C-alpha cells in the first residue's frame, strides 16, 4: 500500500508510528492545510514521507498513491472519503466512520461498485484479543449483560470550561463523547454480539449542547448492555460480557485492549498476546494484507459491522436530541 496521510492533528503521529511498523506500507504523501504546512513537512522529515501536499485534488491525481488515510475531524470524513473513492483510491477512515448512516452506506456502495477497499480504523476491532473473545464467548453460556466504561478526562476539557472549544467538544464539528470515546464500546459490543434491537442514550450536556459524557442502554432480545463514555471525568475502564456460566473482561481502556480475563465455571485465566510497539499496528497490518490478497470478504465483514455501529449510534444520538450539522443532508 502506498498511503497518503490526510491531516496533521492529534491522531496522526500515532498512526504514522504504527504504519512505520508495517513493511508492506509505504508512506507516500501527507496533506496539510496551508497554515499547517510546516507541521506537515516536519512529519514528512521525521517519518520519511516522500511528498507534502496542500491541495487535495493534486494529491488525488498522484498515480503513486493508491490509498488515503483520513485522519481529519469527524465533520469532513464523508466528503474526503468520497472524493478519494471517486479518484479510485482505497480509503482507511479513522473512527467514527462518518456522522450519518446514509453517508456510510454511500461510501460502502461506491467502494464496492468501483472495486476499491474501504476500512474503518478502530483498534479494538482489529486485535488478537477480539478474536480470542469470539472463540471464548460460547463458553460463558447465555449472555445476560454487557457492561462497559471508557472514561478519560480530556486534555481539552479545561479549555472547554473556559469557553475555548476544540473540535472534540464542538457540535459544529460533530464532536462529543458518544462518537469519540463511547464509540469504542459500541464497536466491541456489536462486533461480538451484533446490533441491538433498541438503544437509548442519556447524555450529560455541556454549555454548547455537546455531550461531554453519557450512558447508552442497548436492548437485545434477552439481555441488556450498559455503555458509558466520558470526556469530563475519569474512572477505571473495562469492557465486560456476563454469561450464565462465566464472564469475559477487557480490563482498561477499550481502545487499547492489551489483555483479557476469562472466567468459565468459576475458573479464571488471563490471556495476554504479544504486544506490538503501537496499538494501531495490527489494524494497518490487516488492511494491507486484505488489499494485497484482494480479500474482499474481510472488507465486507468489517464494513457490515461499521454500518451496524453507525445505525446504532445515530439512533442513540438523535433519540437524545443531539443535532449535528450533517443531519440536514440525511
Taken in order of first residue, the domains within the chain and their CATH numbers are 2-116 (3.40.50.720), 125-275 (3.30.360.10)
CA angle 16, 19, 20 (to 5 degrees): 85
Predicted confidence at residue 330, as pLDDT, reads 54
Q: Compute CA distances 124 → 120, 151, 174, 192, 204, whole Å.
A: 11, 16, 22, 11, 25
Taking the CB of residue 42, how many other CB atoms lie within 10 A of it? Answer: 15
Distance CA 242, CA 220 (A): 14
Predicted confidence at residue 276, as pLDDT, reads 87
DSSP state at residue 255: T
pLDDT average per 10 residues of sequence, the chain (330 residues): 95 95 96 94 96 97 97 96 98 97 98 98 94 96 98 97 96 97 98 98 98 98 98 98 98 93 96 90 96 97 98 98 87
Q: Is 7 left (phi over 0), alpha (psi -120 to 50) or beta?
A: left
Amino acid at each position: 500500500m502506498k498511503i497518503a496521510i490526510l491531516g496533521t492533528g492529534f491522531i496522526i503521529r500515532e498512526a504514522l508510528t504504527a504504519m512505520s511498523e508495517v513493511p508492506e506500507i509505504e508512506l507516500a504523501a501527507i496533506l496539510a492545510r496551508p497554515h499547517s504546512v510546516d507541521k506537515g513537512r516536519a512529519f514528512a522529515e521525521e517519518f520519511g514521507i516522500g511528498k507534502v501536499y496542500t491541495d487535495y485534488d493534486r494529491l488525488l491525481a498522484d498515480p503513486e498513491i493508491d490509498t488515503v488515510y483520513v485522519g481529519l475531524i469527524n465533520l469532513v470524513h464523508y466528503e474526503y472519503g468520497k472524493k478519494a473513492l471517486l479518484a479510485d483510491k482505497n480509503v482507511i477512515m479513522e473512527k467514527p466512520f462518518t456522522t450519518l448512516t446514509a453517508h456510510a452506506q454511500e461510501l460502502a456502495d461506491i467502494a464496492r461498485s468501483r472495486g476499491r477497499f474501504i476500512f474503518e480504523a478502530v483498534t479494538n476491532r482489529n486485535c488478537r484479543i477480539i478474536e480470542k473473545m469470539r472463540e471464548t464467548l460460547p463458553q460463558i453460556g447465555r449472555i445476560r449483560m454487557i457492561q462497559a466504561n471508557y472514561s478519560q478526562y480530556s486534555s481539552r476539557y479545561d479549555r472547554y470550561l473556559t469557553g475555548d472549544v476544540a473540535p472534540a467538544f464542538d457540535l459544529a464539528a460533530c464532536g462529543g463523547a458518544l462518537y469519540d470515546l463511547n464509540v469504542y464500546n459500541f464497536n466491541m459490543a456489536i462486533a461480538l454480539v451484533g446490533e441491538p434491537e433498541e438503544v437509548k442514550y442519556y447524555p450529560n450536556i455541556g454549555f454548547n449542547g455537546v455531550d461531554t459524557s453519557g450512558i447508552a442502554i442497548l436492548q437485545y432480545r434477552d439481555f441488556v448492555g450498559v455503555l458509558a463514555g466520558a470526556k469530563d471525568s475519569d474512572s477505571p475502564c473495562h469492557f465486560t460480557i456476563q454469561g450464565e456460566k462465566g464472564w469475559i473482561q477487557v480490563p482498561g481502556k477499550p481502545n487499547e485492549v492489551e489483555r483479557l480475563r476469562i472466567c468459565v465455571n468459576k475458573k479464571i485465566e488471563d490471556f495476554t498476546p504479544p504486544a506490538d510497539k503501537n496499538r494501531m499496528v495490527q489494524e494497518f497490518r490487516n488492511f494491507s494484507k486484505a488489499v494485497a490478497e484482494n480479500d474482499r470478504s474481510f472488507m465486507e465483514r468489517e464494513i457490515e459491522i461499521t454500518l451496524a455501529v453507525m445505525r446504532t449510534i445515530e439512533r442513540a444520538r438523535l433519540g437524545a436530541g443531539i443535532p449535528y450539522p450533517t443531519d440536514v443532508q440525511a
